[in-house]
Amino acid sequence: MQAMTKLTYTAIVQHARKGKPAIVYVPTRKLARLAAVDMTTYSSMDNKGTPVFLLKSETELETFVERINEPVLKETLKYGVGYLHEGLSGTDQDIVKTLFEAGWIQVCVMSSKMCWGVRLSAQLVVVMGTQYHDGRENVHSDYPVSGLLQMMGHASRPLVDSSGKCVILCHAPRKDYYKNFLYEAFPVESHLQYYLHDNFNTEIVVGVIQNKQEAVDYLTWTFMYRRLTQNPNYYNLQAVSHRHISDHLSELVENTISDLESSKCIAVVDDVLLSPLNHGLTASYYYICYMTIERFTSSLTSTTKLKGLLEILASATEYEQLPKRPGEEELIRRLVNHQRFSFGNPKYTDPHVKANTLLQAHFSRQMVGGNLASDQQEVLLSAGRLLQAMVDVISSNGWLNLALLAMEVSQMITQGMWGHDSELLQLPHYTKELAKKCQENPGKSVESVFDLVEMKDDERHELLQISESAR
């Protein structure tokens, strides 16, 4: 990546002339920040300190820069170079997008994942490397071709430019590989066979599929069925005759229905008719994987405590997609050592251990930054519906105490606190130290919001001693 930085700067100078906008894609958020700093360095060296990528005066830009929270971004914007990644606050992202779209800054460096969510276009796109680190396999993997095509698609401003340019910097042996995909039609295959269980479960719940024959008929209306004869090797077909395709679909339906039946999501009546069960209804309603419901059913017991409940919640299939990054094991290890509930010989690369750790850190209000902060948000977003599904599973077994505990965990996620913490922590600007001070108030112990409201204004201000804006 360091070797590509100078080449990227040269490509921008050569192809994005007269202030034409340029977007640079890099694999990670860390590299986005470093690449932006390097762009400003090369620009200063070539132009004797003049911010050539800044298309407006520094005075005009100052109003926007003052509102930026990230210090590094403040400095790079002064040179006309902005960067975007998932870890930036919403305000910082909006300011960078506004400045780039308005033509105040010429260069925007973005992490590769932002190509799908950010609708920015430019006259030039530079893909700074086509590989990323895959933490699951601990190897460097190539970008999906679909992602690369998406990045290329941002080199287009139909109403402004007559043409767009894209520069792809990659390892030399990969050039022919990318040419083959970029210059020819891109084949698109179905992945329905990998997600068929949840698909079938939902269709059975809503009544679209009521027997095995209707399940086979349902598959004949899918994109996968159209591709079976076009690319049979991809779908493990031995031949493309009507008999082979029929046998393949029948086997696929039988295996899927058998798995759903064993997980108690559906019932098979007379070996033909299909009817949804309570667990299948729950999985469909809350849009969660059937394997998650199966794990909840097999793991929860009437004697499960809070520690076990969090472990079961973190074991959900939805958390298997949490990213693994190089060097992150040490950060997870430190977090694990400071949590309320310990782990028995934890594997720090396990996404379920990460999910459990980030949940406990949220309850303890421990600050996590960088990539872990975005992972924590992802964990919390899924936790709400997973807990609701868990409550339904518990209720079907008639375990009142465990249902109340699961509801309490749901409140803990919303409030960001443990169940035994002071109620005052629900209020903005309150810390554990301030809550403890309120409980130890000499005149009258303040333990709830109502106790705080009943106090006289002077007494409350003297006790809290918070700023005017926080009041």
Long-range contacts of 411-417 (CB under 8 A, 24+ apart): 412/363, 413/359, 413/362, 413/363, 413/380, 413/383, 413/384, 413/387, 414/384, 416/362, 416/363, 416/365, 417/363, 417/365
Q: What is the structure's pLDDT at 470?
A: 52
Those residues whose C-beta lies under 8 Å from the C-beta of residue 38, and which sit 6 or more positions away, are 5, 9
Sequence-ordered list of residues with C-beta below 8 angstroms from that of 402, at least 6 positions apart, any chain: 300, 302, 304, 309, 394
64, 78 contact by CB (below 8 A) = no
- Helix (H/G/I), strand (E/B), else coil: 273: strand
Greatest mean pLDDT among 155-164, 376-385, 459-468 lies in: 376-385
- Which of 184-198, 316-330, 410-424 has the least mean pLDDT? 410-424
- The DSSP secondary-structure symbol of 222 reads S
Would you state the pLDDT for residue 60?
83
Q: Which residue has the higher pLDDT, 442 or 390?
A: 390
Helix (H, G, I), strand (E, B) or coil at 326: coil
Sign of the Cα pseudo-torsion (203, 191, 133, 130, in order): negative
pLDDT tens, residue by residue, 183-198: 777 678 899 999 999 9
The reported pLDDT for the residue numbered 192 is 92
Q: With beta carbons less than 8 A apart as the criterion, state whether 338 and 366 touch.
A: yes
Closest CA to 195 of 222, 233, 158: 222
123-141: pLDDT as tens digits: 899 998 887 766 555 667 7
What average pLDDT score do residues 265-286 get? 91
pLDDT at 467: 59
pLDDT at 460: 64
By CB atoms closer than 10 A (0-12, 13-18, 19+), residue 9 is buried
pLDDT of residue 457: 63
Residues 6 or more apart whose Cβ sits within 8 Å of residue 112: 25, 26, 27, 28, 132, 143, 147, 151
- Reading the block at residue 427, the tokens are 């209020």
Spell out the domains of the chain, with CATH numbers in brackets: 2-182 (3.40.50.300), 192-276 (1.10.10.10), 289-415 (1.10.3380.10), 423-464 (no CATH)
**256 pLDDT higher than 90:** yes
What digits encode the pLDDT tens for the residues 67-115?
888 889 888 888 889 999 888 888 888 999 999 888 888 999 998 888 8
Per the DSSP assignment, residues forming a β-bridge with 134 are: 139
- Please give the pLDDT value at position 318: 92
* Tens-place pLDDT, residues 225-234: 999 988 899 8
Most confident of 28-32, 153-157, 179-183, 218-222: 218-222
* Mean pLDDT of the region 242-247: 91
- List the beta strands (DSSP E) in 56-138: 81-84, 107-111, 124-128, 131-134
Confidence of residue 262 (pLDDT cuts 50, 70, 90): very high
Mean pLDDT of the chain: 85
Residue 301 has pLDDT above 80, yes or no: yes
Which residue, chain included where needed, has tokens 């309603």? 285
pLDDT recorded at residue 134 = 66
Q: Is the pLDDT assigned to residue 469 strictly greater than 60? A: no
Question: Residue 304 and residue 313: Cα distance in Å, rounded?
Answer: 12
Number of CB atoms found within 10 A of residue 271's CB? 7
Taking residue 64's Cβ as centre, other Cβ atoms within 10 Å add up to 18
Lowest-pLDDT choice from 49-58, 249-258, 358-367: 49-58
Kindly indicate the confidence band of residue 404, based on its pLDDT and cuts at 50, 70 and 90.
very high
Taking residues 13-25, report their average pLDDT.
Answer: 87
Across 289-312, average pLDDT: 92
Write the DSSP string, 28-76. SHHHHHHHHHHHHHHHHHHTTT--TTB-S-HHHHHHHHTT---HHHHHH
The residue with greater pLDDT, 439 or 305, is 305
